[in-house]
Structure 1
């Protein structure tokens, strides 16, 4: 099969980029012709390396800077908008040149499978990709996380796609209610490896990781940890990641007098080692799609304490078995649960052992054959229902 993955920036970071590149690599390893198409490029080298058998193509090279819209185009967008609606989290990246490049690219395809990987690209594919191409839209975020403007466009255009893949059961039900009759397929992302170095529960460290943005709720986690420190002064919280809220979070650490207890080390190339050396993983997100770093932590037999936010944690964890779920955005409950787990090493060991077992179902050997089967069925024109 010929499979093309269209991404906003295949050279960037983040969980979506990592999982899409991994999927492209797996399909190339299975013998398929795979192309990774990066709508824009801002870095010299990809953060997550494609397999040598994967062809990488860039549509708009922005290493020298971004070309702004013309005055006329800006006025047009204010009045009429564009194909990428306002409210799409990456709408600001779709300048006149970038949007045109995406439209021209998908319009020029004639065969194979096109996999698009975010709402802006899914909408462009639904509206402009010829029907001779199998059009698969990946959704990496739950439907309710999008503003109404995006949900309206999804309802209006996604029905033209051959299949929409979502990460969790909750997501599937949301999309089925919005798009009855459209094939909605639940397929999780795969972790890189499920056999990892396991936490020995000897270091007094709570770890968290992700973009330093409001979605991840690290402000709530820092406030909760301020309640943990008086009872467990030897414990530390390490939050890995970069993003626009870094300065604000550092200020919060200072405000609560946590300079010796909470660190923001930035991005790390050795997150696997950091997870193995920790004793608890905390997920404080306000909303999620499928929290892949959490599942990566579980492969290290780390117990998870997570907000039961929409969606993701509750679709993966069984409360009290392989992790502990806390009411969303409840800082006091998060603090109390962290204190309980920190104080009980036997509980951490039990939760961690079960977490590593749960993570096995997200291994590439379990997930990738299902993707391959989906592509084969769509290529043959077969009717696809969830579970297929």
Structure 2
């Protein structure tokens, strides 16, 4: 039976490869005019969503851009949307359906997304069907994916005439081993893989058995924000993020017990929501920090909240390339962050535009915050350094890197297309 199953699988693979070869012969000329970006949930509130919206807005100046969201679970987007960017939802879970096939497949687990992928529980056999149909229907242009599961699906299923780009927002080292193994072999089919940090770029170079045609680092850009630069005179520290264990807010609250004893007139505000919210509220109450640590919930106007603060604190165990640090830098806040091996370590120059603290050391985090509170000149120097660093991540600066990548990929594809087209031409008859 196993031998028969292997033969069947091999036959399907041969049919699929043959179909792709036939499709390649009739594929339209390569183009970057249309760009489609795959997201898990465009109406969510994560950092990846914010950065994708930012990039889509920039690309819409010269391209037709569509964001394709696998899920729709909220009526309205959390972040503002550029009206030039089109949207499509593959599995609209707000829309009632009497389709028995959809109802049945929606109860079955995904077979397309690896079980170890962190968002696996959000996918079903129905989303597999909708996602696979969409990817196979793309008839040209650029298809970009934004997380491992989607990158793997695009690498596996995208038609040969499509320029494919994988974006990684989380460090390779944090991915489960089975996902890394799939990445190692399947990412080579992508036209390009884009990482956010130099450290992650090096990790991919060492890990991939065969690299994509282009492996590059393009960091996120500072998104547009309301308000002005902080005056650094408010006795407020801010943290922002989804309330999960990985964000380390429980460590930050523990550290703030020490800060509050030394400076009871300072307030910590942690913006966000998530599964750890109740636990964090309980921790605040048990530590007697009511009024000193606030959980205001998520905010759609992060610029206004940063403007009203003087210090930004990053307490995550690890980060890819945290947008919130960029946003805080652009507002001129003094940054205090755990020295995570990828994002913060590359973004912050210790003592110049922020302070880096040994990871998972609550006492050191508290000491660094107190140091910034008590040394106003240091606070202002760090804020000035942060403003200078943020300019390197202005949207026009980062956007030019995307322009270059797209131009390079198009040139490569055009060269291959001309070669293939020339090979199809009948030979000219010999003249006597």
**What band does the TM-score fall into relative to the shorter chain?**
over 0.9
**1:349 pairs with 2:349:** no
User: CA offsets per residue over residues 314-370 of structure 1, 9 Å max, x none?
Assistant: 110100110000011111110111111111111000000000100001110100111
In structure 1, the residue matched to 2:35 is 3
**1:252 pairs with 2:283:** yes
User: CA offsets per residue over residues 180-228 of structure 1, 9 Å max, x none?
Assistant: 5333210011112489612212111111001001111100100011111
Change (3 A) 1:195 1:21: closer
Offset of residue 31 of structure 1: 2.3
Offset of residue 65 of structure 1: 6.8
In structure 2, the residue matched to 1:373 is 404
Choose 11-20 or 180-189, whichever is displaced more: 180-189
Question: How do residues 1-388 of structure 1 correspond to structure 2 at under 5 angstroms?
Answer: 1-28=33-60, 30-64=61-95, 74=108, 82-179=111-208, 180-182=210-212, 183-193=214-224, 197-381=228-412
Check conservation: 2:319, 2:342, Cα contact below 8 A. Answer: yes
Length-normalised TM-score, structure 2: 0.84
The 4+ residue runs of structure 1 with deviation greater than 3 A are 64-71, 193-196
Please give the alpha-carbon distance, in whole angstroms, between the structure 2 residues aligned to 1:378 and 1:216.
36
User: CA offsets per residue over residues 234-282 of structure 1, 9 Å max, x none?
Assistant: 1110000011100000011112111121010101233211111111100
For the pair shown, the structure with the greater C-alpha radius of gyration is: 2
Check conservation: 2:147, 2:168, Cα contact below 8 A. Answer: yes
Choose 352-361 or 196-205, whichever is displaced more: 196-205
Check conservation: 1:286, 1:310, Cα contact below 8 A. Answer: no
Offset of residue 291 of structure 1: 0.7
Please give the alpha-carbon distance, in whole angstroms, between the structure 2 residues aligned to 1:194 and 1:42.
25
Change (3 A) 1:214 1:365: same
Check conservation: 1:194, 1:363, Cα contact below 8 A. Answer: no
Please give the alpha-carbon distance, in whole angstroms, between the structure 2 residues aligned to 1:54 and 1:330.
43
In structure 1, the gaps of 5 or more residues are: 384-388
Offset of residue 382 of structure 1: 6.5
Check conservation: 2:164, 2:190, Cα contact below 8 A. Answer: yes
Change (3 A) 1:65 1:227: farther
Change (3 A) 1:111 1:382: closer
Offset of residue 101 of structure 1: 0.8
Secondary structure at 1:314 match in 2: helix
